[in-house]
Amino acid sequence: MKLKIGVHGLTSCYGCQLRMASVKNVLEIAKNFNIEYWYMMSSKGEIKHVDVAFVEGSVSTKEDEEELKLIRENADILVAMGSCAIYGGVQGMLYGMEYEKAFLEVYGNNTIELEGKIGEPISKYVKVDYKLPGCPPEEDELLYYLACFLLGSYPEEKDYPVCAECRRNGYPCLLIEKNEPCLGALTTAGCKARCIKFGIPCIGCRGPLEEIAWYDSLANVFKEKGMEKEIIKARMEIFGKQYENMDEMVEKVFK
């Protein structure tokens, strides 16, 4: 029996699905699975029972919410795929703002048929079994997760930050040596510190590291280096706005 999978996109840029579709030898790999649902590959069909459902995107409309609940009812295992699904993504940065106000600022007096709201992580609506981080996830991680499920095993999630990969690769520390606002210490590893390799400080696109993302400590370091609260918050909120107590942690540093 082949493993039955579904790949779903809520409100998102579809980048995670595209990443999945573009892994090397994807057609060869796909022979191991029955793909029951993948909107990117065919027209939007009926959501059927699957062994594993990969869900990309945040819940940003009432329709997303209903679709997500149906996916959950029909999946033995549900994987939140990418930063939008795990933490609300960039669109989740508006968390705490009134939806109508945000809509007016972006779209003016235009209307949409969907019943919109501020984007939220899928775990606020359904039980999530595994998180596959990234914006989008790395190819080796996607293959690892697929292989684990195929073998009847389960994937181990990374519990260390980008800094660990950065140190391992021997890159100079942009925070210590150049006073740049690098978020590597808060961010889930897996990208092999890609941005730092090119001299660009981490913006946290893989999302905060669960239970270890001490925004207060890093905000304090940034503050000591002369950065202003608004700049620090704006940077941390891009991917971390909906991390538990993130706002309070940063505010505390500036009291």
Give contact residues for ligand SF4 (rule: CB under 6 A): 12-13, 15-16, 56-57, 82-84, 89, 135-136, 162-163, 166-167, 171, 173-175, 182, 184-185, 187, 191, 193-196, 202-206
Task: Name beta bridge partners: 38.
Answer: 7
Least CB distance to ligand SF4 at residue 59 (A): 13
Pick 196 or 236: Cβ nearer ligand SF4: 196
Task: Find tokens 């107590």 and name the residue.
Answer: 245
Q: How far apart are CA 240 and CA 207, in angstroms?
A: 6
> Which position's Cβ is nearest ligand SF4?
184
Nearer to ligand SF4, 75 or 218 (CB): 218
Residues 6+ away with beta carbon under 8 Å from 136: 15, 16, 18, 19, 82
Cβ closest to ligand SF4, residue 98 vs residue 159: 159
C-alpha torsion 202→204→205→208, nearest 10: 150
Residue 146 beta carbon to ligand SF4: minimum distance, rounded to whole angstroms: 17
Q: How far is the CB of 152 from ligand SF4 (least distance, A)?
A: 27
Output 48 or 167, the one with its CB closest to ligand SF4.
167
List the strands of the sheet with 130-132, edge to edge. 33-38, 3-9, 50-56, 75-81, 130-132
Min CB(2)–ligand SF4 separation in Å = 26
97 phi/psi in degrees, rounded to 5: -95, 150
Tokens of 212: 């270890």
Q: Residue 41 or 104: which CB sits closer to ligand SF4? A: 41
